[in-house]
Amino acid sequence: MTSEIPESSDSSKAESASPAIAQCGFCGQGQLHVWRCENCSAIVAICDECELIWNDTVAVYRDPTIASDGSYPRCPQCQAENGAWQRVR
């Protein structure tokens, strides 16, 4: 894919500080991490491989096969196309 989920300047710290909540049930290869949209403060889960987004982090933790609500970089809450994302630690 041409867009990439932003990475922390120290990715090893980011990974240990932000463990995956589940393996992606769509692509089966990525891990779901919790992110916050800096435009509207929405908390979502984003797959680090296929870049799908889920609004309900608890529901996707319980059942990673539920349908996604959108795809990166657009925020499914505020619809910002160039969403500024911050990883929740």
Q: Is residue 89 pLDDT above 90, yes or no? A: no
pLDDT tens profile 31-63: 999 999 999 999 999 999 999 999 999 999 999
Whole-prediction pTM: 0.78
**Taking the CB of residue 3, how many other CB atoms lie within 10 A of it?**
10
Bridge partners of 46, per DSSP, are 33, 53
Q: Which residues contact 19 (CB under 8 A, 6 or more apart)?
A: none
